[in-house]
Amino acid sequence: MHVQEWLEQVPAVSIYALVGIVIGLESLGIPLPGEIVLVSAALLSSQHGEVNPVILGVCATAGAIIGDSIGYAIGRKGGRPLLAWLERKFPRHFSAANVATCERSFQKWGMWAVFFGRFVALLRIFAGPLAGVLRMPYWKFLIANVLGGIVWAGGTTAVIYYIGVVAEDWLKRFSYLGLAIAVLIGVGSMLFIKRRAKKAAAEAEAAAAGPVAAEPQPVGVGD
């Protein structure tokens, strides 16, 4: 998928809306590539003046906060039957093993699971609905949701934007040699992240299959 090339063909307003909607739907609980779209749009804003990184960051943050809030409301109303329905519709993301892994994170970290969940692909999809299912007090969820949305969406936009500005200037100086090095670094990073993700998934499945995967108690979330 050449997301950035596609984004270059649409108006800036459409990019803002696209980023906000995709991130909002992902935060709501629908498996979408929100992070890929955000990173691509932020990189595009560093190379094309038509896309304002500040407006982009605000739209991404709003989408993240609103999507998570809707997901929380749906999860609180739907309860456990909602998770069972999601498992049937999206077995890859909402499998019993993934749900158990995320529940253990909520039991251990409480509201901080919502905050730090922004930076983990699996928890980013689960955080809102699962917090509602586990009946986390709304004020705790709201604080973690707002702070997490600002830090993740706004921070990602800012970091990728400035990296894009610096990288563009650097590549102009070093031409094809710099491009080759950048590509090698990118591929190496991607393979490393993919390997760590597979290892983490295997560990999560093993833990869910063992004795420690017993049904967690929802009471701990609200403590």
pLDDT of residue 146: 94
pLDDT of residue 101: 74
Give the end-to-end CA distance of the chain in Å, rounded to a whole number: 44
What own/partner pairs with CB < 8 Å and gap ≥ 24 does 167-174 have?
168/46, 168/47
Inter-axis angle of helices 96-109 and 121-133, to 10 degrees?
70
Least confident of 26-30, 64-68, 122-126, 184-188: 184-188
Residue 9 three-state SS: coil
- CB atoms under 10 Å from CB of 129, counted, come to 26
Reported as half-sphere exposure (CB side, CA atoms, 13 A), residue 165 has a value of: 9
Q: What is the pLDDT of residues 140-163, one digit of tens each?
A: 899 999 999 999 999 989 988 888
Higher pLDDT, residue 107 or 157: 157
* Rg, the chain, Cα only: 19
d(CA 7, CA 98): 32
195-217 CB burial, b ≥16 within 10 A, e <16: eeeeeeeeebbeebeeeebeebe
